[in-house]
Homo-oligomer: A and B are copies of this chain.
Amino acid sequence: MVPSSSGLCRVGGEPVPGVGTYEDFNTIDWVREKSKDRDRHPRGKIATKSKESTWALVKGISDAFSGWLLMLLIGLMSGALAGGIDISAHWMTDLKEGVCLNGFWFNHEHCCWSSNETTFQERDKCPQWKSWAELIIGQSEGPFAYIMNYLLYVSWALLFAFLAVSLVRAFAPYACGSGIPEIKTILSGFIIRGYLGKWTLIIKTITLVLAVSSGLSLGKEGPLVHVACCCGNILCHLFTKYRKNEAKRREVLSAAAAVGVSVAFGAPIGGVLFSLEEVSYYFPLKTLWRSFFAALVAAFTLRSINPFGNSRLVLFYVEFHTPWHLLELLPFVLLGIFGGAWGAFFIRANIAWCRRRKSTRLGHYPVLEVLVVTAATAVLAFPNGYTRMSTSELISELFNDCGLLDASQLCTYANGSEPKSGGNALPDRPAGAEVYSAMWQLALALLFKVLVTVVTFGMKVPSGLFIPSMAVGAIAGRLLGVAVEQLAYYHHDWVIFRGWCSPGADCITPGLYAMVGAAACLGGVTRMTVSLVVIMFELTGGLEYIVPLMAATMTSKWVADAMGREGIYEAHIRLNGYPFLEPKEEFSHKTLAMDVMRPRRGDPPLSVLTRDGMTVEDVEGLIADTTYSGFPVVVSHESQRLMGFVLRRDLIISIENARKRQDGVVSSSRIFFAEYTPPQPASSPAPLKLRGIMDLSPFTVTDHTAMDIVVDIFRKLGLRQCLVTHNGRLLGIITKKDILKHMAQIANRDPDSILFN
């Protein structure tokens, strides 16, 4: 597991730079990292002098508080960035349609606020806001103006998308996508240098705004998690404790992921649960509390920025007031089934498309691909009001319960009955012609979103799929909600409606259906459960609606799981060949460690080092001949009794260093791993003592250990490799990659799809 603490990272008393670090695209050893952190604390010795002890106390306190300070900083920075992204994206989205005469930096809503002339109903048609056609040719109506606006809408979209993809390609290729699959992999112990660096942060923030504004079918919620993790990673550099330790840093990143969701949905508790349930691998309870703190700080920072001018953290915050009826669970479960089916379809289609991108020439023209998809999206989106508006606005409108003052097309019911006094809710009424036309437009928008999202997710721009998934579900839910509402209105004498849907009563809330549909679709795609329900609960603010949400989410997960085990993030991890050992999936096969370990029967024996029988030359030959990332050390080839484990990287660095610095170390020098070096004859070259780099406590299992136990050990302890023994003799080795290959083989997948170790 770790070299003995006295000799950690040292050879001959002096630390060798590089020993104990990792290469890019490698997996860390959690146990080793945790031990390194322990070695930092000199708690074994108790300071004798009171002055020293005061100093130690101060250091101890500052050490403990550095974690909290870091959380505070991450919260502040992520909250501020999220606010900036929200405001810029809002403004640039509106820029596609027109500009504000009071000042070009106002968005549509803001522009109309500052004009005092308009009444509440006409807020959207204020004179200061000019569409491009109005500004350029002076016409706001007519086919010519429409075409003008259309063309400018598409041009702006293309410009934004082009800028986004160019910036990503030029400065930070890691800034594309949602980032959550990679963050999951990184949190599980993988190293991708630069993935959470400052360039990625800067470019991702800018291009995220551009991509969202271009009108592509993508959201900013997933990428916000990446942005928050970048903040966390960068701020880690301020504190030695976190900069130098990969395990500690991952604790911070888990908290940062919670922060990301907290600012994306205004849901601090949901964010923490998301981090716990979905992305984190190692989540000690201390992290839970700190994550919660960071998530709250971020949420309050964002709220004080107030990007939407409604004191809310998200555009689609709602408050429902009408209760739901037990019979409504049936349509909610239907929405769950739809969500599950959509999730399974989306994952298959998207993975197939991404595989095609990887394997065909399509992948060679990422800029062209983005431009074509953007052009298609913009051209198809403009004519339909529901696709032209930003997806967040669409969701907000769909979630919204029709109030008295609502001017939305979705709320133009026939004035069948008198509005009730007080309250926001209106009784059920027959839908007017405009509602029917809105239904048609929504149905088309549904089809459009379903198709376009499949090709959008995975392009070389920052793209999240929370919002598009929610939009699909919200449209389906609203359609179903209005249908049930009209059914209840026209057939309130049916048995099922009798009692709770009398005429004039307000019994169906189509907005709630939209919300339940959104949860179901998001659940189908990501397979989130508790965190999803809690996020939705925080969006509505009422415990009342947890049951519908839960019913839909549960159904959706079951349906989606029946059609394909993996969520979208796991599917993308597998597509990219990252070494990720899914902590949720149960390993249920009865294979034993001996079936998985290498060498297999018939293979050449395991390459091992011996305690004192090898020269520098022998070892260099072994290194040159093999590509293994580490070698077990045994007492002798005959006994095969295990002493320890040496990492290839440490071995290379140490030998190189000794050859340069240490007098008398030549090719024929003998290498000793034993504690005591026997006296050497005077003629022989100086020996090289390498006990310091040897891990004296490698993990071992016996060859009869069931593989599910081995998998459990790897997951829970975060191992990279484990040695296999039989009756006390070394027999073989199992690495994380071996396990992943074995699991792929069992699932009838290509075992070579796992690319890294």
> Which residues of chain A from 677 to 707 have any CB-CB distance to chain B below 8 Å in the complex?
696-698, 700-702, 704-706
Q: Does A635 count as interface, using CB distance less than 8 angstroms? A: yes
Rounded to whole angstroms, the CA-CA distance of A642 and B293 in the bound complex is: 49
Give the shortest distance, in Å, between A386 (CB) and chain B (any CB).
30
Asked whether A288 and B530 contact (CB < 8 A) given A697-B704, A713-B717, A728-B725, the answer is yes
Contact of A716 among B546, B717, B727, B730 (CB under 8 A): B717
Q: State whether B709 touches A701 (Cβ < 8 A).
A: no
* CB-based contact A38/B292 at 8 Å: no
Closest chain B residue, CB of each to CB of A730:
B728
| Assembled-state Cα–Cα distance A286/B561 (Å) | 14
A31 to B727 CA separation, bound complex (whole angstroms): 21
Check if A639 sits within 8 Å of B44, measured CB to CB.
no
Q: Are B43 and A589 in contact, CB atoms less than 8 angstroms apart?
A: yes
Q: Which residues of B contact A713 (CB under 8 A)?
A: 717
Partner of A44, one of B272, B296, B589, B635: B589
Q: Is A137 an interface residue (CB 8 A)?
A: no
Interface stretch (choices A1-9, A148-156, A393-401, A496-504): A1-9
Partner of A550, one of B1, B5, B296: B296
User: CA–CA, A712 to B728, complex, Å?
Assistant: 24
* Residues in B neighbouring A269, C-beta threshold 8 A: 269, 534, 537
Is A203 at the interface (CB under 8 A from chain B)?
no
A590 at the binding interface (Cβ < 8 Å): yes
Known: A285-B584, A635-B728, A725-B728. A35 touches B708 (CB 8 A): yes
CB-nearest residue of chain B to A5: B590
| Bound-state Cα–Cα, A583 to B472, Å | 43
Taking CB atoms, residues of chain B closer than 8 Å to A554 are: 293
Tell me if A300 counts as interface (CB < 8 A to partner B): yes
Query: Is the pair B706, A712 in contact by a Cβ cutoff of 8 Å?
Result: no
What distance in Å separates the Cβ of A54 from its nearest Cβ neighbour in chain B?
Answer: 15
Q: Could you tell me if B277 and A285 are in contact, using CB atoms closer than 8 angstroms?
A: yes
Number of interface residues of A (CB under 8 A): 72
A603 to B543, alpha carbons, bound, how many Å?
A: 62
Structural contact, A728 and B296, CB atoms closer than 8 A: no
Q: Are A701 and B697 in contact (CB under 8 A)?
A: yes
Is A696 within 8 A of B704, CB to CB?
A: yes
Q: How far is the CA of A154 from the CA of B666 in the complex (A)?
A: 93
Q: Compute how far the CA of A35 lies from the CA of B725 in the bound complex, rounded to whole angstroms.
A: 20
Contact A547–B729 (Cβ < 8 Å): no
Chain B residues with CB under 8 Å of A5's CB are 590, 706
Question: What's the Cα separation between A289 and B554 when bound, in Å?
Answer: 9
A338 to chain B, nearest CB (A): 21
Q: How far is the CA of A5 from the CA of B709 in the complex (A)?
A: 12
Is the CB of A541 closer than 8 A to any CB of chain B? yes
CA A299 to CA B547, docked complex, whole Å? 11
- A601 contacts the other chain (Cβ, under 8 Å)? no
Contact between B550 and A705 (Cβ–Cβ < 8 Å)? no
Instruction: Give complex CA distance A288, B701 in Å.
Output: 30
Whether A34 sits at the interface, judged by CB under 8 Å, is yes
Q: Which of A288, A550, A697 has the most CB of B within 10 A?
A: A697
A704 x B4 contact (CB < 8 A): yes
CA separation between A170 and B113, bound complex, in Å? 74
| C-alpha gap A642/B537 in the complex (Å) | 55
Assess the B34–A712 pair: CB atoms within 8 A: yes
A488 within 8 A of B: no
A538: Cβ under 8 A from any B Cβ: yes
Given contacts A43-B588, A697-B705, contact A728 B285 (CB under 8 A): no
Known: A590-B5, A706-B35. A289 touches B529 (CB 8 A): yes
Beyond known contacts A541-B543, A642-B728: 14 more, CB 8 A cutoff: A4-B592, A38-B588, A38-B706, A43-B588, A44-B590, A288-B529, A292-B529, A293-B554, A538-B543, A635-B727, A641-B727, A697-B704, A700-B725, A717-B717
Top-8 shortest CB links A-B: A641-B728, A697-B705, A696-B704, A44-B590, A716-B716, A289-B529, A728-B728, A697-B702
Q: Which residues of A contact B (CB under 8 A)?
A: 1-2, 4-5, 31, 34-35, 38, 41, 43-44, 268-269, 272, 276-277, 284-286, 288-289, 292-293, 296, 299-300, 529-530, 533-534, 537-538, 541, 543, 546-547, 550, 554, 583-584, 588-590, 592-593, 635, 639-644, 696-698, 700-702, 704-706, 708-709, 712-713, 716-717, 725, 727-730
A–B complex contacts, Cβ < 8 Å, 21 sampled: A2-B706, A5-B590, A34-B712, A35-B708, A38-B588, A41-B588, A43-B590, A285-B583, A292-B529, A292-B550, A635-B727, A635-B728, A641-B727, A641-B729, A643-B727, A696-B702, A696-B704, A696-B705, A697-B705, A698-B702, A728-B730
